[in-house]
Amino acid sequence: MYDNVAAITYTLSISTVNGTTMGAGTGNVPTVSWTSTASADDGGPLELLYANYWYKIGTRGLMVKFTDAVFNTCDPAWTVVCAAIQYVEGSNANAPAGTAKFVWDSNRGDDADTAYTTTTSGSWVRLGSRGLYVSWTTVANLTATDEFFVICTPPQPSSYDITNLNYGNVTVSTESSLRNVIFEILSGAVEIDTVKFGLQNHGNFDHHGEGNSDTYFRFGTVGPGNNAGSAPLDGYEWRTSVTASDISNDIPPSYLYATEDNLSVVADADSSEAIGVSTFAGMVADPIWLNIKLGTSEIGANSTINYRLYFDYA
């Protein structure tokens, strides 16, 4: 978000000396450089590693992103005029909470665009599309260019380097507790894409897709790559307290992106479930929820099934 007290015009230039397309890895992609009014905020070259990713231009809050396409060297390529922030409401440079208006931005692509919202005092106003609400308690007037930062910490994994899931003791005709997992590339790549998740085999279970066909392997997902909800809260990326009933139907609830009440055994990625990925989340796939419902006639213990995850990377 541009937050400078004076207007600045930025001139952006593209160089393809190192490469013409994004996604080719560092040292092999186009770069962007920029000049600014009176050289107030010049910079670059900056590598354009990923498509649809917000890149910071300068230090005053300007950001740009590019769709996946072939670049040409272009100097200059674009001119961006950033106007100064002068007023909080009407022609007033300051005003109390409840009168002053604000705009907002985030490091995840959620922003106010050109709309502004009136601040509140003693009540809550929605900030963004992810379910966050804010309020002001200051007794002093709010002034043009005042800034407030809201840090939202994502859920933290309880375990790492997972190679197997234990659903615990599950009795027949009941649902197991859920397991929630994410997939991340830790090294050796700069981009992850086209993530798929499927059931490779159903182990020793006799009533999954055969017998009574009443043993089910459930699946659900939502995340920054494939979020959920409806306007204005259409950016849900995480749901706490997901239960077995949430993923027991092929029609997902509003807070999940996709569900499958019974995964079939599949042999390839094309037949598997799509998992979202987002450039804002690095090389991490969207979270997935899994559980098992045992059929009434299942017998035995310590049965093992195999899941399989497919992905493309660069």
**pLDDT class for 303, splitting at 50, 70, 90?**
confident
Question: Residue 221 above 80 pLDDT?
Answer: yes
| Residue 105 pLDDT class (50, 70, 90 cuts) | confident
Q: Name residue 233's beta-bridge partners.
A: 230
Residues contacting 196, CB < 8 A, separation 6+: 269, 270, 272, 273, 274, 275, 309, 310, 311
Rounded average pLDDT over 40-66: 91
Most confident of 91-95, 129-133, 281-285: 91-95
Give φ, ψ of 136 to 5 degrees: -110, 140
Using a 10 angstrom Cβ sphere, with 0-12 exposed, 13-18 middle and 19 or more buried, the burial of residue 146 is middle
- Residue 288: its pLDDT value, please? 96
What does the DSSP assignment read for 71-104? Answer: ---EEEEEEEEEPPP--SBTTBSEE-TTT-EE--
pLDDT for residue 24: 86
**Percent of the chain whose pLDDT exceeds 70:** 100
Residue found by looking up tokens 């994004």 in the block: 22
| Confidence tier at 150 by pLDDT (50, 70, 90) | very high
Q: Given pLDDT bands bounded at 50, 70 and 90, which one contains residue 313? A: confident
d(CA 149, CA 300): 55
What's the pTM value of the predicted model, to 2 decimals? 0.79
Beta-strand pair 288-293/179-181:
antiparallel
**Averaged pLDDT for residues 300-308:** 85
Nearest to 272 by CA among 224, 221, 222, 308: 308
Q: Confidence class of residue 67 from pLDDT cuts 50, 70 and 90?
A: confident
Q: Is the peptide bond before 232 cis (omega within 30 degrees of 0)?
A: yes
Q: What is the mean pLDDT of residues 286-301?
A: 91
| pLDDT of amino acid 11 | 97
Q: What is the mean pLDDT of the chain?
A: 91
Reply yes or no on whether the pLDDT at 131 is more than 80.
Answer: yes
Mean pLDDT of 82-90: 90
The answer, yes or no, to whether residue 152 has pLDDT greater than 90, is: no
pLDDT at 199 over 90: yes
What does the pLDDT look like over 235-271, one tens digit per residue?
999 888 899 999 999 999 999 999 999 999 999 999 9
The pLDDT, as a whole number, for residue 271 is 95
Instruction: Identify the band that residue 167 occupies on the pLDDT scale cut at 50, 70 and 90.
Output: very high
